[in-house]
Structure 1
Amino acid sequence: MILVTGGAGFIGSHLVDALVEKGYKVRVLDDLSAGSLDNLKNSIDRIEFIKGDMRNFETVKEAVEGVEVVFHLAANPEVRISSQSPELLYETNVLITYNLLQAIKDSSVDYLIFTSSSTVYGDAKKIPTPEDYAPLEPISVYGGAKLAAEALISGYAHIFGFRALIFRLANIIGKRSNHGVIYDFINKLRRNPEELEILGDGTQRKSYLHVSDTVEGILHIFEHFKGEGKIYDVYNLGSEDWITVREIAEIVSEEMGLNPRFKFTGGVDGGRGWKGDVKLMLLDISKAKSTGWRPRMNSYEAVRKTVRELLEEH
């Protein structure tokens, strides 16, 4: 039995669909605060679904019963709330991970796979940034919470005899996403087709990976990890190029058949979209590629495909 926490969310639901297709027995734990059962409509009759909040330890304990593999994707996905609601980011990233680890240590779980984030690197001085980059210095509470979760997972795995695999993800995009820059731009242009407000100065440049490539990478590297025998390992997952916020705005406008004025907010701290926004992010994915995985789409292709998917969805 495989447990997917946050399995009704954006990435989680795509992972659940892939696992079900491969014939695995899947249990999903989700409180539906960010996800939705609609995301699981392709798989819902073939999975076990538990609606529950991972801040409640008993709920988590019940969910891991009889489980061999846990994919831990439950989290608050919004980097931007770092300044407004740090306590929520602690609860929905660190506390729930601690509860999961406490439940796993006395269970039959052999493997824990965790989706972390490129935000743990902060403003990396080495780009593309490899997994062994140091010191890790997150510049947002979100990044700090992800790094805290990684550290707890490493400690528990080494002490309590299960194996843990961490994925540090670039910006993941695709259908079913309900936050992020592409989603925001589409909604802003629907409200006002004449003008598009862009947070920051538009020169923020980051790597984007389509969710289909992401799920493929997670499952491929997990199989590789199982054969390697390591207790704990970390992989970056992203594309090999990057794209500016301005270029994303141009693609969204073009796909919507619009020609809006761009209004840049100017941003904070040298053109960032918000305080804690990493301005330049490109991950070194050579370690992931050494296992035989590579992304099918680059950042530009992933962005264009996502715009089309989101326009079709809504």
Structure 2
Amino acid sequence: MKVLVTGGAGFIGSHLVDALMERGYDVRVLDDLSAGSLDNIKGWLNHERFEFIEGDMRDPETVKNALDGVDVVFHLAANPEVRIGSQSPELLYETNVLITYNLLNAVRDSSVRYIIFTSSSTVYGEAEVIPTPEDYAPLEPISVYGGVKLAAEAIISGYAHTFGFKALIFRLANIIGERSNHGVIYDFINKLRRNPEELEILGDGTQRKSYLHVSDTVEGMLHIFEAFKKENKRVDFYNLGNDDWITVKEIAEIVSEEMQLKPAFKFTGGVDGGRGWKGDVKFMRLSIEKAKKTGWKPKLSSYEAVRRTVRELLLSH
């Protein structure tokens, strides 16, 4: 099968590319390198089964050309920064909704049979049921980021039912690991390098969320995709996360310990009752029972994933 990975030079995308190449797929990557880096995929650049296209998915022609001969699209291209929503909603719209629309329009006239989309736990908003299952409703995002992810899910579903391809949508918890270049662990490490005496923590530190290591994420995506191919559902949704969760303060403690520092913690107090920023979901843990029924489960807990990620980022930066 020939696979296109949009955003394949990014954090999760590049790990997915590694796994697909190791499994023998023909892989093409489309990435504008705004959030990704060629360094993440440099090991494959001269491989006969690998092709890289630098291009912006806001241009329909670029997307159309990238789909030539492709059977499966893993659509990971997006702006990954939740916090940008309050400053630049139009950028989030363009880099999530518009590019997805361009992709779907191009898929109509292509050989693509499957689209796999990485959505986000933020589509649930502040769920009243925790752990939150895939059939939770109503979906009420509290950030622009959550809103554009939900919009992308909806158009994918509409196009799949109308034009006859199959779509698999993953709602991801907080994904962490080597090559990540944003997020709480990355921020803490950089802050402590600048000032080892004090660590500023956004919010009140009690925010509690589920974290999944990128190795478990990619394993889950590929495992569930195999199961989905045998299903007769046109569109299906799976949460990918962890059974446990961890507070921001505990993450700060792990980062400090791994860096052999004892900084004073300075909590900003945050907004709207201790959130890190406007639109930050304070408590998030997804139900992963549906994913587990396919035979997948995370190898690392949230705590183990955090500790391993801190070590990986300290080694690589």
TM band (smaller chain)? over 0.9
* Residue 192 in structure 1 maps to residue 195 in structure 2: yes
1:157-190 Cα distance to aligned partner (Å, 9 max, x none): 0000000000000000000000000000000000
Q: How does 1:1-314 map to 2 (within 5 A)?
A: 1-46=2-47, 47-314=50-317
The runs of 4+ residues in structure 1 deviating greater than 4 Å are: none
Distance 1:101 1:45 in 2: 29
Query: How many percent identity over aligned positions?
Result: 82
TM-score by length of 1: 1.00
1:83-103 Cα distance to aligned partner (Å, 9 max, x none): 000000000000000000000
1:204-243 Cα distance to aligned partner (Å, 9 max, x none): 0000000000000000000000011211000000010000
TM-score by length of 2: 0.99
Distance 2:110 2:40 in 1: 29
CA RMSD of aligned residues (A): 0.4
Distance 2:126 2:253 in 1: 26
1:278-297 Cα distance to aligned partner (Å, 9 max, x none): 00000000000000000000
Distance 2:200 2:41 in 1: 33
Shift of 1:45: 2.0
Distance 2:279 2:109 in 1: 37
SS at match of 1:209: strand
Distance 1:2 1:54 in 2: 17
Amino acid corresponding to residue 21 of structure 1 in structure 2? E
1:145-167 Cα distance to aligned partner (Å, 9 max, x none): 00000000000000000000000
Distance 2:137 2:80 in 1: 24
Distance 2:8 2:255 in 1: 28
Distance 2:288 2:61 in 1: 38
Amino acid corresponding to residue 44 of structure 2 in structure 1? S
SS at match of 2:93: helix
Distance 1:260 1:42 in 2: 38
Shift of 1:42: 2.4
Amino acid corresponding to residue 55 of structure 2 in structure 1? G
SS at match of 1:241: coil
Distance 2:46 2:172 in 1: 29
Distance 1:44 1:303 in 2: 30
Structure 1: gaps spanning 5 or more residues: none
1:20-52 Cα distance to aligned partner (Å, 9 max, x none): 000100000000000000000222222100000
Amino acid corresponding to residue 233 of structure 1 in structure 2? D
Distance 1:41 1:253 in 2: 32
Amino acid corresponding to residue 55 of structure 1 in structure 2? R
Distance 2:11 2:43 in 1: 14
Distance 1:276 1:151 in 2: 21
Structure 2: gaps spanning 5 or more residues: none
